[in-house]
Amino acid sequence: MKNALGATREEIFQKNLAEYGQYHFMAKKYSKGSTYRNLSQLGVLMSLKTFPGGVHPHDFKHFSKTAAIDKLPPPEKVIIPMSQHIGSPSSPCVKVGDEVLVGQLIAEASGFVSIPQHASISGKVTKIDLFAHPVGTKQMAIEITGDGLDKWIELVDDENYLDLTPDEMKKRIADAGVCGMGGAGFPTHVKLSPPKDKVIDTVILNGVECEPYLTSDYRLMIERPEEILRGLENVMKVVGASKGIIGIESNKPDAIALLQKHTASKANIEVVGLKMQYPQGAEKQLIYAATKRKVPNKGGLPMAVGVVVQNVGTAVAVYEAVRYKKPLLERVITVTGSIVKRPANFLARVGTPYSVLVDNCDGVNTEIGKIISGGPMMGFSLPNLDAPMTKGSSGIVLMNRTEAKQLQEHTCLRCAKCVDVCPLNLLPSLIVSAVKVEDLEMANKAGMTDCMKCGSCAYVCPAQIRLVQWIDTGKIKWAALQRAKK
Amino acid sequence: MNDKLLVSPAPHLHDRTNVSMVMWNVILALTPALVMATYFWGIKALMLTLLGAVTAVVTEAAVQKFRKVPISVADGSAFLTGMLLSFNIHANSPWWLPVVGSVFAIVVGKQVFGGLGNNPVNPALLGRAFLLASWPTLVTNGWIPTRSGSINGINPDLIGTNLQTIAPKAYELITSATPLKVAQTIRDTSFVSSLTGSATENATLASNIFNSLFDMGTLKAMFWGNIGGCIGEVSVFALLLGAAYLLYKNIIEWRIPLFYIGTVFALSFLFGGITGSRYSVMLPFFHIFGGGLMLGAFFMATDYTTSPITKRGRIIFAIGCGVLTIVIRLVGGYPEGVSYSILFMNVMTPLIDRLTMPKAFGEVKK
């Protein structure tokens, strides 16, 4: 099978193998922890833009970064969850037994903050029921069994798509069911509809991909830069922004160089190289790194500082939705890990079961210790590979037993490493000790409800305390308390 | 395959540091100072240190067995406490001194509060304070010179010819006291007035002795550790070597040592002089090289459990340590104030943390 760049999978495999040798050396070098922090704080490494706090996990991108995007044939069966986004779940508008075409509407948006869903293969609706969802729970989904014909609905090719009015563009984006593809999955048309009094002057495209292992955004940037830029111009036109910024971390120098080449003639678009640091892909951190603007906490949105952020994958989806009226029904997803036989970046249909994706990598070469849906810092670990990929699925990471091994929690030493790395300037250790004694007021003073669960604190904790889990527990208790008060 | 699959909350990566790695790295960072001490005072310095460390380990294991909790001495924290305790006594101490000190440090300083992570003050410093209160003469007297024969690096011949006959008290001082003790004694006006005959002669003599504290020869001796003092504190060079390692490994953070040493440097420059002495930029170096400041600032004030967790808090903590150290050294009754100032600021830590809660990223003014 040849992929987009014309390389056979055997060639990609050989390329990857060459990188494996490097991996062992790198993993050793970086697993010792973030020795660079003190240096960078003293200003030695301050030349590139970044944000305060954060950690430097080894990026483990070597496995899959040389694997060109591989277009998978439509699978035999897809499971399309009704909840792939933030907001109310879509409501099915087909019944069991209905014949559907690729791109046909199968579920409608159930409100403004919601998106429609479309069939990603052609065939018959065989079940509408609860199915495994990549966040680890069971959720309502539509199962379609394919007919193997891959018959599409009719798409358009609107060459003058940039002449459309912002409202027409927004309608096409909403109709295509586009939501944020970086993970959170906020409906894109909502993000692009700021209140009238908010002026958006800057659109930032998120090409940071700070999660270790994942390479789907990276491959997209080096293989489809034109479409990303068209998507950016689309988004800028919709919100009326005069400036576009593409933020990319310095571990992807080729992506920076390529996009800089493509934007050389465009004065209003800037490609910004960022210092490698997790969680730079978090919206607020990226905005600060690229523009020095601080989004207010306690529910503040980027629009408060005149910015809209979109993932690079979302930009491509926006472009395809506006120009071709193509629904969001396929995306690039990375399947990777030290035990995956042929780590890959697939262009796969939404709803493809994870097991099909792993099979397409020729499986694994040892027992799996952990299955992670998404990146290892914020992803969900799953009990099996039954869940389907969604519009927000950026990757599957498989770990062996050793990599997955968890050490026992120790008493807190009060070493404050969590405080030093917290990108939101909270006091994680204090929150946790307050949650442990049920002092939620104190936990809140230390910033509990501001926490975005990036996991930097738990990553560095020498006592192996699962801070994110404790903070989450506190948040749930706090929410229950607030409800009880009302 | 599914029965062995781990399902757990994110993050699924860890930087692979752990408590014992941190502790043993600190012990490793203290090794140069131990090597220097062994070189200057012979095998006794090494034996006293090991005695203190082993006692601490045995005591901790015994207490944990008694408390019926898992025995965790392998994490190195008890060894480190015992080592630091022994670093705070001089090489001429009796063998039982580090033993008693370590037992006190572990039992009263650490285990009664629940062990590692729960102690309010630095156990090693508490152990030292206990020894100082119980056997003051043993702890503050009996300093011995290093093998090359010097106790404070001052050359009596440079201060005045025939000093031994003209001013025997001054001669005795500079041949038997540690640099900080010399500095403290020379500030004492009744001591100065009893030196020789006339007041002018006394003043000249006093300022000569004072100036010699921070001439190049003395400072060099203090930098390498070729002076009298506690086992682990004398060699600034060895301590800086260890501190650089800990900073590089990101085990200690720069704020506390920088602001502690910086405060001592600034205050000693402003207030460290005596009447008639010359003001020199070298004077503060005498104060930051002298006594236990380097050991205290890099290895004891930075103790995780007993220092503030907030970034601003650490700065306040360190400045507090610095101010108290200088106050004790310049106007207090002891020649050295590092251990007491750190102990005092340890007690202030919960309050400092509470008063320096940081603003969250993007926090708006209410």
Q: Does A319 lie in the same domain as A172?
A: yes
Q: Do A427 and B358 touch (CB under 8 A)?
A: yes
**pLDDT at A435 > cutoff 60:** yes
- pLDDT for A179-193, tens place per residue? 999 878 899 999 999
Q: Do A414 and B305 touch (CB under 8 A)?
A: yes
Alpha-carbon distance B225 to nearest alpha carbon in chain A (angstroms): 28
Residue A228 within a domain:
yes
Mean pLDDT of A299-323: 93
- Closest-approach residue (CA) in chain B for A424: B361
Q: Does A422 lie in the same domain as A311?
A: no
Residue A199 within a domain:
yes
Contacts of A453 in chain B (CB under 8 A): 10
Residue A331 within a domain:
no
- pLDDT for B42-63, tens place per residue? 999 999 999 999 999 999 999 9
Of all residues in chain B, the percent with pLDDT exceeding 90 is 63
- Residue of B165, B233, B180 whose CA lies nearest to B210: B180
B172 pLDDT band, cuts 50/70/90, is: confident
**Structural domain count, chain A:** 2
Mean pLDDT of A279-290: 92
Alpha-carbon distance B363 to nearest alpha carbon in chain A (angstroms): 5
pLDDT on residue B61: 97
Contacts of B247 in chain A (CB under 8 A): 38
Least confident range from A95-109, A313-327, B134-148: namely B134-148
- Residue of A369, A368, A337, A334 whose CA lies nearest to A354: A334
Residue A200 within a domain:
yes
Residues, chain B, total?
A: 366
- pLDDT for B196-233, tens place per residue? 777 888 888 888 888 888 888 889 999 999 888 899 99
User: Strands A243-249 and A269-274: what pairing?
Assistant: parallel
Q: Does A314 lie in the same domain as A179?
A: yes
**Higher per-residue confidence, B189 vs A97:** A97
Q: Does A424 lie in the same domain as A317?
A: no
pLDDT on residue A355: 95
Contacts of B11 in chain A (CB under 8 A): 376-378, 455, 458-459, 468
Q: Which residue of B19, B22, B311 is in closest CB contact with A419?
A: B311
Q: What is the spatial distance between Cα A312 and Cα A170, in angstroms, rounded to a whole number? A: 18
Residue A101 within a domain:
no
**Higher per-residue confidence, B333 vs B355:** B355
- pLDDT for B338-358, tens place per residue? 999 999 999 999 999 999 999
Q: Does A308 lie in the same domain as A426?
A: no
Domain boundary among A324, A350, A383: A324
A-B Cβ pairs (cutoff 8 Å, strict) = 181
Residue A364 within a domain:
no
Which amino acid is it at A315? A
Q: Do A300 and B362 touch (CB under 8 A)?
A: yes
pLDDT on residue B212: 86
Domain boundary among A291, A324, A357: A324
What's the gap between Cα A431 and its chain centre?
A: 27
Contact A431, A474 (CB under 8 A): yes
Contact A450, B360 (CB under 8 A): yes
Q: Which residues contact A156 (CB under 8 A, 6 or more apart)?
A: A324, A325
Q: Does A426 lie in the same domain as A286?
A: no
What's the gap between Cα B259 and its chain centre?
A: 15
User: Strands A123-132 and A243-249: what pairing?
Assistant: unpaired
Of all residues in chain B, the percent with pLDDT exceeding 70 is 98
Q: What is the CATH number of the domain that holds A301?
A: 3.40.50.11540
**pLDDT at B2 > cutoff 60:** no
Domain boundary among A303, A324, A345: A324
Contact A422, A395 (CB under 8 A): no
Label residues B314-327 b or e (16+ Cβ within 10 Å = b). bbbbbbbbbbbbbe
Q: Do A427 and B364 touch (CB under 8 A)?
A: no
Q: Does A436 lie in the same domain as A310?
A: no
pLDDT on residue A314: 96
pLDDT on residue A27: 35
Contacts of A445 in chain B (CB under 8 A): 357
* Reported ipTM: 0.88
Q: What is the spatial distance between Cα B302 and Cα A50, in angstroms, rounded to a whole number? A: 28
**pLDDT at A13 > cutoff 50:** no
Q: Does A320 lie in the same domain as A178?
A: yes
Q: Domain containing A187: what range?
A: 161-324
Mean pLDDT of A21-43: 37
Mean pLDDT of A55-60: 90
Q: What are phi and psi of B6, to 5 degrees?
A: -95, 125
Q: Which residue of A212, A425, A472 is in closest CB contact with B13?
A: A212
> What's the Rg (C-alpha) of chain B?
22
Mean pLDDT of A355-370: 92
Alpha-carbon distance B276 to nearest alpha carbon in chain A (angstroms): 40
What's the gap between Cα A324 and its chain centre?
A: 24
Which amino acid is it at A483? R
Q: Do A411 and B22 touch (CB under 8 A)?
A: no
Q: What angle do CA A57, A61, A66 make, to 5 degrees?
A: 165
Question: How high is the mean pLDDT of chain B?
Answer: 90
Q: Does A167 lie in the same domain as A299?
A: yes
Residue A58 within a domain:
no
- pLDDT for B26-46, tens place per residue? 999 999 999 999 999 999 999
pLDDT on residue A1: 42
> Structure tokens of B81?
């406490």
Q: What secondary structure letter does DSSP report for A46?
A: T
pLDDT on residue A170: 94
Residue A349 within a domain:
no
Q: Which residue of A38, A424, A459 is in closest CB contact with B247?
A: A38
Mean pLDDT of B291-319: 96
Q: Does A309 lie in the same domain as A446?
A: no
Residue ranges with strand state E in A298-389 = 307-311, 330-336, 344-349, 370-373, 380-382
